[in-house]
Amino acid sequence: MPETKTPSGSATAIYKDKPTSYFANARNDIVALARTGPQASVLELGCGAGGTGRAMLAAGKAGRYVGIELSEEAAATAAQHLSEVRVGDVEALDLTPLAGQFDSLIISEVLEHLRDPWTTLARLVSCVKPGGAVFASSPNVAHWMVVRELLAGRFAYAEAGVMDRTHLRWFTPGSYRQMFEDASVVVERVGPLVPPRWKARLIGRFSGGRLDHLFMAQIMLVGRRR
C-alpha cells in the first residue's frame, strides 16, 4: 500500500488559495527524457497530486516512486498512486533515510519557493545514486518581460508565472546552473522548457546566443549526480 508520512509544522498556509490544478499537472516531457526502467527508484520534490509519478510508473520507467509534497490535500491524492509520499516542508524534513537510494531526481517548479534552495538541493542530490539523473525547472527572472517591468520601475507580484507571489527566490539560467554544479551535479543541458519561437531563434542566431536568456520563460536543466 502507498505510504504517506506527515510531520508536524507544515507551511501549507501560503498555498491555501491555489487552485487544485496548481498541484495536478504531469511533466510528460521529463517522462519522455527519462532513461530508467521498471526497476528504477525515482524521487520527486513537489509531486503535487502525483501526475508525473503516475505517468512515470505507467511508462515503465520506475518501480518505486517517492514524492515530497507540501500540500496535504494534493499529497493525499498522490499517495493513492505513488509508492510513498512524504508530506511537509522539505527544508524541515529529515532526508537522511533516503540517502543514495534513487536513480533519478525530479524538481519541477519548486526551488524558487524555498528559503534556502541551495542547501536543500544539496540534501536532495545526496539521495541520488552516483551517476543518477537530475531533472529540474524553474522560472527565469531574466526573461524580457521581467526586464521590461524592471526598466519601468515595477516589481509586481502575480498569481502565477515568474512573479508568482509565493516565490521567494529567482534565478537566471547562469545562476541556476551554478546552484546545481555547487550541489555536485554534472550539468548536461540548460535551456528553455518550451522551444523558442522563430523571432527568438532569429535574435539568438544574430546575437551568437548571448541574448537567449531573454526569451526563456522557464529554465530546464538536465544533469546527473557526480
- Separation in Å, CA 158 to CA 10, 52, 131, 155, 194: 24, 25, 38, 10, 21
pTM: 0.89
Domain count along the chain? 1
The parent domain of residue 99 ranges over 3-225
Q: What is the pLDDT, as a whole number, of residue 5?
A: 59
- Separation in Å, CA 186 to CA 23, 61, 134: 29, 22, 9
Q: How far apart are CA 8 and CA 98, in angstroms?
A: 19
Cell of 128: 541520488
pLDDT exceeds 90 at position 3: no
Q: What is the pLDDT, as a whole number, of residue 17?
A: 58
Q: What is the pLDDT, as a whole number, of residue 153?
A: 97
Q: How far apart are CA 102 and CA 127, in angstroms?
A: 6
Kindly give the interhelix angle for 117-125 and 173-182, rounded to the nearest 10 degrees: 50
Specify the CATH number for the domain of residue 100. 3.40.50.150
Q: How far apart are CA 142 and CA 212, in angstroms?
A: 10
Give 101-154 pLDDT, tens digit per residue: 999 999 999 999 999 999 999 999 999 999 999 999 999 999 999 999 999 999
Sheet strands (E) in the chain: 3-5, 41-45, 64-69, 84-87, 102-108, 128-139, 185-192, 218-225
Give the closest residue to 78 by CA, choosing from 87, 117, 17, 209: 87
Give 62-116 pLDDT, tens digit per residue: 999 999 999 999 999 999 999 999 999 999 999 999 999 999 999 999 999 999 9
